[in-house]
Structure 1
Amino acid sequence: MKPTWMNPARWLCTGALLATGHAAALEPDALFAKLTGSVWAVRTFDAQERPLRAGSAVVIAPGRLVTTCHVLAKASNFVVKRDNVTYGATLEYPDPGRDLCQIKVANFTATPVALAPAGGARVGQRVYAIGNPRGLENTLSEGLLSGLRGGDGEARLLQTTAAIAPGSSGGGLFDSDGRLLGITTFAARDGGNLNFAMPAEFLAELPARAQAQLAARANEPEGAARRRVGVALAEPLRAGDALEYVRTDRLTGNRTPVIYRVDRVNGDELSFNAGSRVEKANGQVVTLTSSAGGLFDSASPPGGWAPKDDLQPGMRWHLDYVATTGDRLRHELTASVGSEHTMRVDGMELNVMRIGYEGWIFASSTTSLPLTGASTRFRGAAWYSPELGRIVRFEGEYQRGVSSGANESLELVRIQR
């Protein structure tokens, strides 16, 4: 009698089972052809029909798409578009805690995508991102699933080397069979090939979570909404949470969203945007390697703009340092703490202290700029909230020559949970 491993019929049967249990991996061109009609661009507008943001969305059911909530933030209306076809859309199920929003479109016939099995994501598997980076519709990028980030027994973030860029947020991350693994959400600026997506298995919970949140708010007594916002703001940050700031160029009026997303909590240290920013729980900066926040980051002192544990009105100190990001300029500044007052953040009144900065900046031996020896006046201010343990607003300006300089502000608008 032949051993079973030599039986051709057994091998044939096994092969048939494998063939029926696992779809063959698609070549990238075939995968793109299959999926491109299911990924659309999103455009948002304010009450005056002025453009706000651009993103992507994935069709998950007839007339239903999912995007990231931060793409829709502050929009009065929005549309989905592909090539020369545009549809008006409405918000159906918001889940800002996971940054996932389901939208609906009437008379919409685009084909829904298939979802990958829950919990099936594997580090090292080949993945593909499809979205609309920087307005370039229907863009495919290839990479690996490079990490499963999060805690509490669930993967709160999928890390990938597949390239994404502004405009990709809300697009799809697919496996080699063309099944949806996740919704792309952000990339770490200046952090190497580090990009992230929310797991697709969260989509099944989206309607229930959204309805539960709306029901809870409808049953709140008068005044509870303000207290709820305050609690949400003050809760400790967890992996997957994000700080959403708006950076404004005060010379041109251009406004840009800046997201600092928590990818890891290690004791009293929080890692943002794949480790490009690491802070203590009180907001003091441990390391900083990215200038995602413009001057807020590129001119940051060691420890950040509120580096002392017990700030009191009237405190003063002197700083002499070389910034670790941007042009790596040398700064000689004097800091002084003003009196306490209040500032509204995401609907809540917070006590804040204004820390003013005055001084000079110079080219240093580590910068790529010419060492001319000339100094440039620098002025800045940071508003620190002890309740949140972080800066909620920053302003800075300097002028170098007639064509170089900056005048910017950065303001916290909400915390995504």
Structure 2
Amino acid sequence: MKPIWKNAAPWLCAAGALLAAGPAAALEPDALFAKLTGSVWAVRTFDAQERPLRAGSAVVIAPGRLVTNCHVLAKASNFVVKRDNVTYGATLEYPDPGRDLCQIKIANFTATPVTLAPAGGARVGQRVYAIGNPRGLENTLSEGLLSGLRGGDGEARLLQTTAAIAPGSSGGGLFDSDGRLLGITTFAARDGGNLNFAMPAEFLADLPARAQAQLAARAREPAGAAARRTADAGGAGIPLTEPLRAGDALEYLRTDRLTGNRVPVIYRVDRVNGDEVSFNAGSRIEKANGQLVSLTSPIGGLFDSASPPGGWAPKDDIQPGMRWHLDYVTTTDDRLRHELNASVGAEHTTRVDGVDVNVMRISYDGWIYASYGTGASPVGTPLNVAVLYSPELKRIVRFEATYRRAYASVTNETLELVRIQR
């Protein structure tokens, strides 16, 4: 079975389906839910062996047309939309992985399309409602405020909301109190409090043109160029080394090697400002070259909480054989003192989501000193870290750490880059 990204058809959406209607009367939450619930569906994706992959949501925007997040469809060979006991097979029509929006089509599908809110009409402080399928719980309504407008620089901005979303909500709808679509819910900042985000609905009007442009760019690629693209780029011709843009995301997998527990860790770009890239509503800020600027929410375990100033690859031109010494106090958690010696090994290759990339192994060995009175304990506990740094991607693609705390407590974990969502 061919990947779904190759099924995109060059059809145009009816422009009228993306135009906002005139003013409407504000609805009570129960009336709003009754009006919209039939227009938000669950998405289920499967691999070539029909094994389940992911779950998400989708919003009906025109007759037989729905929009979801591209990351919901990533790596799927086929997918369906469902509501209650009704299921429809669907195909991809317009992929725009750069904005994480994918339009899908369904034959003989009669669900009522939603109405779009006026472009640029979103206002901080207005009441909003999210409808989706968090954690597989179909047709869930959550209420909140539009708490911020992030990004911008000449185009529509990410919508920040306090309306709750969770895994499975991706691709659902964020609506105003009149029941008009403001945005497509996309991600939540893990461990970042009530920070949830949606792509603005005005992006939907650009889907056909942007999808066709990206597919045309792929057709012009020289032979073999596809091997330098992440599988998650939706077949849209985005190279692995393409600079990150707002809406892109780095998806890591954090594994506790003692228990086997595996947790996804998402660093999503909410703004690029000059040579600085902001992730997860500013909780992590990096330079364009991958060096860490600031960190306030350590969602990646020791990768974040024990991070040196500048990150685990803090030098501009790392070369095999380099060595350096670090003595620093972390800015998160308990502000522990770290004393580490770093050394760089030979260059080799590894695979990131099926693509070969060049990496260097940087080893860190040393001690962590816990807080003790007004200073640090004179007795440290050992910390051993090994990272694989990719000069091509300008970031860490694998992190391994063993930390032996007091009372024989041991932390042994890995954090590995599994895909770049575009």
TM-score range, shorter chain: 0.7 to 0.9
Deviation at 1:238, TM superposition (A): 3.1
Gaps of 5+ in 2: 1-20, 231-236
2:313 counterpart residue number: 306
2:278 counterpart residue number: 271
1:386 counterpart residue number: 391
The residue correspondences of 1:165-244 to structure 2 (distance < 5 A) are 165-226=166-227, 232-244=239-251
1:90 counterpart residue number: 91
Partner amino acid for 1:383?
L
Matched residue of 1:198: which SS?
Answer: strand
Deviation at 1:41, TM superposition (A): 2.1
Which has the higher mean CA deviation after the structures are superposed, 222-231 or 93-102? 222-231
1:111 counterpart residue number: 112
CA separation in 2, counterparts of 1:82 and 1:327?
46
Matched residue of 2:38: which SS?
Answer: helix
Which has the higher mean CA deviation after the structures are superposed, 200-209 or 318-327? 318-327
Give CA-to-partner distance per residue, 1:203-242, whole Å, 9 cap, x none: 1222332233223323433234346779733333333333
2:36 counterpart residue number: 35
CA contact (8 A) 1:249 1:409 kept: no
CA contact (8 A) 1:301 1:323 kept: yes
1:318 equivalent in alignment to 2:325: yes
Give CA-to-partner distance per residue, 1:134-176, whole Å, 9 cap, x none: 3332222222223322334111412222222222111101111
1:15 counterpart residue number: none
Which has the higher mean CA deviation after the structures are superposed, 345-354 or 60-69? 345-354
2:12 counterpart residue number: none
1:409 counterpart residue number: 415
CA separation in 2, counterparts of 1:113 and 1:253?
43
Partner amino acid for 1:285?
L
User: Which is higher, the Rg of structure 1 or of structure 2?
Assistant: 1
CA separation in 1, counterparts of 2:68 and 2:263?
19
CA contact (8 A) 2:402 2:410 kept: no
Partner amino acid for 1:79?
V
Select the structure with the greater relative contact order (CA < 8 A; seq sep ≥ 6). Answer: 2
Partner amino acid for 2:189?
A
Partner amino acid for 1:279?
E
Matched residue of 2:277: which SS?
Answer: strand
Give CA-to-partner distance per residue, 1:261-290, whole Å, 9 cap, x none: 222233332211111001122212121122
* Alignment counterpart, residue 397 of structure 1, candidates 377, 402, 415: 402
CA separation in 2, counterparts of 1:137 and 1:362?
48
* Alignment counterpart, residue 296 of structure 1, candidates 279, 303, 306: 303
1:143 equivalent in alignment to 2:144: yes
TM-score of the superposed pair, with normalisation by structure 2? 0.82
CA separation in 2, counterparts of 1:265 and 1:415?
16
Which has the higher mean CA deviation after the structures are superposed, 221-230 or 211-220? 221-230
Classify 1:266/1:307 alpha carbon distance in 2 versus 1 (closer, same or farther; 3 Å): same
Matched residue of 1:56: which SS?
Answer: strand
Classify 1:412/1:294 alpha carbon distance in 2 versus 1 (closer, same or farther; 3 Å): same
1:17 counterpart residue number: none
Deviation at 1:104, TM superposition (A): 2.8
Matched residue of 1:411: which SS?
Answer: strand
Partner amino acid for 1:292?
I
1:350 equivalent in alignment to 2:350: no
Partner amino acid for 2:55?
A
CA separation in 1, counterparts of 2:22 and 2:85?
39
CA separation in 2, counterparts of 1:84 and 1:322?
55
CA contact (8 A) 1:345 1:414 kept: no
The residue correspondences of 1:44-123 to structure 2 (distance < 5 A) are 44-123=45-124
Classify 1:306/1:221 alpha carbon distance in 2 versus 1 (closer, same or farther; 3 Å): closer
Which has the higher mean CA deviation after the structures are superposed, 230-239 or 140-149? 230-239
CA separation in 1, counterparts of 2:53 and 2:381?
34
> How many residue pairs were aligned?
393
Deviation at 1:325, TM superposition (A): 4.0
CA separation in 2, counterparts of 1:254 and 1:62?
43
Partner amino acid for 1:45?
F
CA separation in 2, counterparts of 1:372 and 1:152?
48
CA contact (8 A) 1:248 1:254 kept: yes
Gaps of 5+ in 1: 1-19
Give CA-to-partner distance per residue, 1:8-64, whole Å, 9 cap, x none: xxxxxxxxxxxx952111111111111122212223333444433222211222332
Give CA-to-partner distance per residue, 1:113-150, whole Å, 9 cap, x none: 11112222223322111112233322222222233223
CA separation in 1, counterparts of 2:355 and 2:363?
24
CA separation in 1, counterparts of 2:22 and 2:74?
41
CA separation in 2, counterparts of 1:212 and 1:270?
25
CA separation in 2, counterparts of 1:43 and 1:142?
25
Partner amino acid for 1:259?
I
CA contact (8 A) 1:151 1:239 kept: no
CA separation in 1, counterparts of 2:377 and 2:41?
50
Identical amino acids, percent of aligned pairs? 83
TM-score of the superposed pair, with normalisation by structure 1? 0.83
CA RMSD of aligned residues (A): 3.0
CA contact (8 A) 1:298 1:327 kept: no
Classify 1:21/1:205 alpha carbon distance in 2 versus 1 (closer, same or farther; 3 Å): closer
CA contact (8 A) 2:252 2:415 kept: no
Deviation at 1:180, TM superposition (A): 0.7
Deviation at 1:346, TM superposition (A): 5.5
Matched residue of 1:220: which SS?
Answer: coil
